[in-house]
Amino acid sequence: MKLLFGAVMILFIITALFTCNKNSEEENLKKQGGTVTVAIQGSANNLFPYNIREYYVQEISHNLLTQSLTHIGPDGDISPELATSWEIDSAGITYFLDSKRFWSNGDQVLAGDILASFKFLKQNRAQVSTLFKTQFVKNVLVIDSFTVRFELKREALSPHAICRFPVLNQKQIIKAGDWENLKKSYYKEFIGCGPFVLKRYSSESVYLEKNPRYQAGLPFLDAINFRFYSDTDSLESWLQMETVDLVPDLPHNLLKTLKNKNFYTIVPSVEPGYTFIGWNLSRQEVANRAFRKGLSLALDRQTMVDGVMSGYATVYDAPAYPEFWAYYDTPPMAFDLEKAHGYLKKADWARNKNTRKLEKNGEIMRLTILTNKENKLRVKIASNIKAYWESIGAEVELKSLAWGDFLQALKEKKYDAALVSWVAVDAFDPSELYHSSGIKSDNNFMGFANDTVDTFIENALSMKNKNARSQNWLLFQKKIIEELPVTVLFGKRLVNVVSKKLKNVKINSHGFLYNAKEYWLDDRK
């Protein structure tokens, strides 16, 4: 009797598991298909993964098109990507690749792809984003087709961060030969190993389709169409016609457009970054810290945030963000015109009693503010800055340029103050903006070089002891506030818009695309 009862129970369990599995498969089949349209502010001037500068374009590349050996999840844990496992020792790290991963052209992903990508990055170091830390790698060895070893120059807290970079197809790299040819090939003959493949590309639109050879869980969606807008009128029209399904960081002036729209829902999030003024330190006057301090004190940041940002931002000084685990929480610099004029006087600028203009040796203070015109809120903030500086006696020109022209003007140093944003990608690493190595790649567009800051960043990224890392991040933030190569204005609280038919969208400090392969459209209502 006991044997019979046991057999019946086993049969029941097997039947239940089969039924659950069948129901799960049927449910997943219902989620398959459809194209989602995502609206993003700005332009997609560069999608080549080794030197992307735009945050949302970086998200597209990092989450959908390219793969690395590992990735950092929303909880900060290291998870496998092209590698299934690894072994770490004091001299380096050995990765064991997933033998079931393939390129979109049918080639198997091999250790040779990792080696070829690493060599290409190292050969083109001056053009590569400082996000990729190849300078800390002594050597890369192919052990066999699915095993690759990284030998490090010194023991590191997080060797994964040093060994994490987008892996490209070795045949495509070898055939292209150099930077420009590989970049052209990447667009025209795309080969990837991510969940989606690039089908059409322009500065206004990026169209991706599901990669049928992706082996780590096929996306539910057939395609994602990214549309880039340079003015809020276009976005407002799309929202009114309900032709977009997802809008990260909705301009706050368009909230009224959604007032009576039942088609959308609002998903709030906090930006892991900040908007700031980057100072052109190559100009003699701007290089004077008292000059920068005086102009910074003349800005009423809280009033700007309350007015232009409708309160959807937090004013602070630290070059990090409040959710960062080692954030330097200090009272923000207060708006103070008396102190502003005091610092400007230290830089030999004084107000002419007759003309009310700021003058030095008979010359009027003339400033150029630079920003990109695609971001209307940023242009409004820049206009506010212009008004504040004019009110203390400066003559100010505001140049709002198309993104490509804006980047070129930054490179050519045609500004005094540039209004931009910085957002952490993957883990917190401000090297590209503040480490002297970022000057060559134009990411450190201010031209800021400080050996002490370099050391704090390097220590914080390499030390094993968490308290020591925290101390170095705090010292880094204090030093930037002291040296003032930038003036941090605020960190944004984001308003993200999601169509009610688009399901399983997760948005947090890791962005909005990290789980895009799990998005699905509910068109059955």
Q: What is the pLDDT of residues 8-21, one digit of tens each?
A: 556 555 555 455 45
Q: Whole-angstrom Cα distance, residue 338 to residue 198?
A: 55
Q: Whole-angstrom Cα distance, residue 82 to residue 99?
A: 9
Highest mean pLDDT among 29-38, 160-169, 172-181, 250-259: 172-181
pLDDT of residue 284: 95
Mean pLDDT of 341-365: 95
pLDDT at 47 over 60: yes
Mean pLDDT of 36-65: 91
Q: Whole-angstrom Cα distance, residue 84 to residue 77?
A: 15
CB 374 within 8 A of CB 367: no
CB atoms within 10 A of CB 122: 14
Q: What is the pLDDT of residues 370-409, one digit of tens each?
A: 999 888 889 999 999 999 999 999 999 999 999 889 999 9
Mean pLDDT of 18-32: 61
User: Which band of pLDDT confidence, cut at 50, 70 and 90, is reported for residue 316?
Assistant: very high
Q: What is the pLDDT of residues 199-234, one digit of tens each?
A: 999 989 999 999 999 988 899 999 999 999 988 889
pLDDT of residue 377: 85
**Which DSSP state fits 252?**
G
Tokens of 368: 């150029």
**Which DSSP state fits 105?**
T
Which position has the higher pLDDT, 385 or 426?
A: 385
Q: What percent of the chain has pLDDT over 90?
A: 67
C-alpha distances out from residue 297 to 113, 379, 483, Å? 51, 20, 15
Tokens of 294: 């005086």
pLDDT of residue 71: 86
For CA atoms 370, 372, 373, 377, give the dihedral sign.
negative
pLDDT of residue 525: 45
The pTM of the full predicted model, rounded to 2 decimals, is 0.73
Tokens of 353: 């009693």
Q: What is the pLDDT of residues 67-77, one digit of tens each?
A: 999 987 654 56
Mean pLDDT of 25-39: 81
At how many degrees (to 10) do helices 451-462 and 466-483 cross? Answer: 160
pLDDT of residue 438: 86
Query: At residue 338, what are phi and psi to the nearest 5 degrees?
Result: -65, -45
pLDDT of residue 286: 97
Which position has the higher pLDDT, 12 or 282?
A: 282
pLDDT at 277 over 80: yes
**Which DSSP state fits 33?**
-
Which position has the higher pLDDT, 440 or 248?
A: 248
User: Which band of pLDDT confidence, cut at 50, 70 and 90, is reported for residue 524?
Assistant: very low
pLDDT of residue 29: 63
Mean pLDDT of 171-181: 96
Work out the mean pLDDT of the chain and round it to a whole number: 90
Which position has the higher pLDDT, 403 or 57?
A: 57
Q: What percent of the chain has pLDDT over 70?
A: 92
Q: What is the pLDDT of residues 487-496, one digit of tens each?
A: 999 998 888 9
Which position has the higher pLDDT, 153 or 482?
A: 482
Q: What is the pLDDT of residues 448-485, one digit of tens each?
A: 999 999 999 988 887 778 899 899 999 999 999 999 99
